[in-house]
Amino acid sequence: MDLRDENGWTEQEFLERYRPAEYERPSVAADMAIFTVSAAAEDNYRKLPEKELRVLLIQRGGHPDLGKWALPGGFVRPDETVEQAALRELKEETGVDRVYLEQLGVFSEVGRDPRTWVMSCAFLALADSSRLRLQAGDDAAHAAWFRVGYRLRREGKEYTPGGLVKKQQYELSLTSELAELNATVERTVTLTEASAEVGYAIVADGGLAFDHAKILACAVEWLRSRVNDSALAFPLLPSEFTLTELQQVYEVILDKELLKAAFRRKVADLVEETDRYTENAGHRPSRLYRRKLEALG
Amino acid sequence: MDLRDENGWTEQEFLERYRPAEYERPSVAADMAIFTVSAAAEDNYRKLPEKELRVLLIQRGGHPDLGKWALPGGFVRPDETVEQAALRELKEETGVDRVYLEQLGVFSEVGRDPRTWVMSCAFLALADSSRLRLQAGDDAAHAAWFRVGYRLRREGKEYTPGGLVKKQQYELSLTSELAELNATVERTVTLTEASAEVGYAIVADGGLAFDHAKILACAVEWLRSRVNDSALAFPLLPSEFTLTELQQVYEVILDKELLKAAFRRKVADLVEETDRYTENAGHRPSRLYRRKLEALG
DNA sequence: AGAATAGTGTCTTTTAGACACTATAGT
DNA sequence: ACTATAGTGTCTAAAAGACACTATTCT
């Protein structure tokens, strides 16, 4: 590039003279909501165990928010992308390295971290529970998989001049052997002629650190809104699975029962049969399926 | 909070002693793809003018990438969120302040800015063309609305052990009176049993600065994938519009013609009639509709 | 045999696609 | 009168919902 700027410099000359600006810079953390679907305990040998949606949380071992539960994560380094940082932290804290990873968004509310200017680049990760092994990180006193519940509790509309504001309070309940957290998040949809805006506010953090209740609410909503489009359920299952297991993943994410026949029709093109069946189930065995790679793009 | 950490400090004591870590920090820019739908010139007084999807680009007046075209944007400040930064920059550069704004994601590839470590938090904004007035910012030699084209040019699949890689080359063409840019972006979908990953790479930047061809490709794909769910089309229209105009917005985003009867059935619940009609159109006048606020959440 | 799930068939309802038809201001 | 769009009706095809029925293995 031989173009010269108003100082008569080429790009090369400009870069040699360039000194990072005096602007203040934020720390950027990659935090992630890693979900898995695991089987609850079942005493009746005949019945299939119920599936549960679970998310990994780590109890903070230092200030700020000492003792509260937080999403695993860490700061992004200059030699990596935010995705690489997320995968690195995930590997360090759970030992998993091949997961489905998706950006949720940047959470940058002023004052969200009392130490300094920190924005969080939040990720959603999905992993097959059979491949997980949990490793508590160095900064974590404890780590645990929490059962996730997310339900609408209250809803209200309000008409304003030229618009409509809709407020919904969702209860986010997280349960594990170590703790039971109940956070309340308010989702506000502001609708005007020209724009639409969705905002989240934490009404009660329920023992979750920073603004992580908000991130988790976004993560669950993201999951629910996208489970149908793409093949989001497969990363949550082992490579061979029954159609009932696949259906249970959908049901656990949507928190809603689906009809078997319709579900099977819908996923028919996404999977392919194997010759194998489940065994010793206490009832009729079930054919195992594989994800059909040809499908989807 | 009276909890004490391993040094015996309370959170207050910890924060008083806290010094920002020595970690290197990135600059974070909020860049945005602001779209509008405007009417092309039409010589036949009877015919409706064709609609065009347009995006605002600014020609860089300084190094690096001097002379190339870039998305408007600027650095995030410590006293604002990334959304506020995007809106502030938008206001400064276009004079618009009430727009639909959505996070697209963080683009953080190492070396994407030759000066220093800069990650871009990319936004998609939608605005009604009748309300726009363009103001060239201080750092911009020129600014212009570019007609956007985004088409698949080449596609290929490749089977790898345990997976499938699908590569698609899209041509992104941007046309204005000032310049005609043709970038090529490769979209790579990597599918394995456990995960799925979508990556973008710039094959040819066509005169677009930094990785902005990639951001624009993501923006157009985001628009196309979401135009149906939510009421994405309304921010692109004035408050009263004809159903044909609404349909044209969908068509211009999807780059595809839709059937009138089916389209009207689909949007019937999203709009409400007014008593007003278009006038002097050279043909039968058309009823004006308004967005129905009651619909959607 | 009985329990519990696997898997299929079919009827109904809803939604989308296709296309033809009528209606009407403006020149 | 003619043009170009506005707007509706209807047939068909595809997808989703509902539900009943048969099949099968393990205890």
Strands A27-39 and A271-277, bridge-based pairing: unpaired
* Structure-block tokens of residue B46: 């009877």
- Closest alpha carbon to B76 in B65, B67, B87: B87
Residue B76, C-beta contacts closer than 8 angstroms, at least 6 positions apart: A26, A108, A119, B28, B29, B30, B82, B85, B121
Quick check: A115 contacting B, CB < 8 Å?
Answer: yes
Token pair 């015996």 is found at B8
> Out of A82, A230, A235, whose CB is closest to B106?
A82
Inter-axis angle of helices A212-226 and A243-254, to 10 degrees? 130
pTM of the model: 0.94
Per-residue pLDDT of chain A in tens (297 residues, 90 and over written 9) = 578 998 889 989 888 888 876 789 999 999 999 999 999 988 888 898 999 999 999 999 888 999 999 999 999 999 999 999 999 998 888 778 788 999 999 999 999 999 999 999 999 999 998 887 765 454 445 889 999 999 999 999 999 988 899 999 999 999 999 999 999 999 999 988 778 889 999 999 999 999 999 999 999 999 999 998 778 999 999 999 999 999 999 999 999 999 999 999 999 999 999 999 999 888 999 999 999 987 765
The whole-number Å distance from B194's CA to D20's C1' is 37
Q: How far is B43 from chain A (nearest CA, A)?
A: 30
The whole-number Å distance from B279's CA to C26's C1' is 10
Taking CB atoms and an 8 Å limit, are B297 and A189 in contact across chains? yes
Give chain C positions with protein CB within 7 A.
Answer: 3-10, 16-20, 23-27
Quick check: B27 contacting A, CB < 8 Å?
Answer: yes
Q: Is B177 exposed, middle or buried (0-12, 13-18, 19+ CB in 10 A)?
A: exposed
Integer Cα distance of A87 and B264 in angstroms: 45
The whole-number Å distance from B243's CA to C26's C1' is 20
Is strand C in 7 Å reach of the CB of B157? no
Q: How many CA atoms within 13 Å lie on the side-chain side of A68?
A: 20
Inter-axis angle of helices A243-254 and A260-267, to 10 degrees? 110
Per-residue pLDDT of chain B in tens (297 residues, 90 and over written 9) = 578 998 889 989 888 888 876 789 999 999 999 999 999 988 888 888 999 999 999 999 888 999 999 999 999 999 999 999 999 998 888 778 788 999 999 999 999 999 999 999 999 999 998 887 665 454 445 889 999 999 999 999 999 988 899 999 999 999 999 999 999 999 999 988 778 889 999 999 999 999 999 999 999 999 999 998 778 999 999 999 999 999 999 999 999 999 999 999 999 999 999 999 999 888 999 999 999 987 765
Is strand C in 7 Å reach of the CB of A276? no
Residue A164, C-beta contacts closer than 8 angstroms, at least 6 positions apart: A157, A158, A190, A191, A192, B293, B294
Average pLDDT of chain B?
A: 91
Is strand D in 7 Å reach of the CB of B283? yes
> With contacts defined as CB-CB under 8 Å, which chain A residues touch B67?
3
Residue A21: predicted pLDDT: 67
- Closest alpha carbon to A22 in B111, B31, B58, B116: B116
Give the B window 43-62 contacts with A, CB below 8 Å.
61-62
Give the B window 130-149 contacts with A, CB below 8 Å.
131
- Give the chain A residue nearest B196 (alpha carbons): A100
Quick check: B112 contacting A, CB < 8 Å?
Answer: no
Residue B26, C-beta contacts closer than 8 angstroms, at least 6 positions apart: A25, A26, A28, A76, A78, B108, B117, B118, B119
Taking CB atoms and an 8 Å limit, are A25 and B28 in contact across chains? yes
Integer Cα distance of B37 and B35 in angstroms: 7
Question: Kindly report the CA angle at B238 between B241 and A163, in degrees rounded to 5?
Answer: 105
Strands B73-75 and B180-192, bridge-based pairing: unpaired
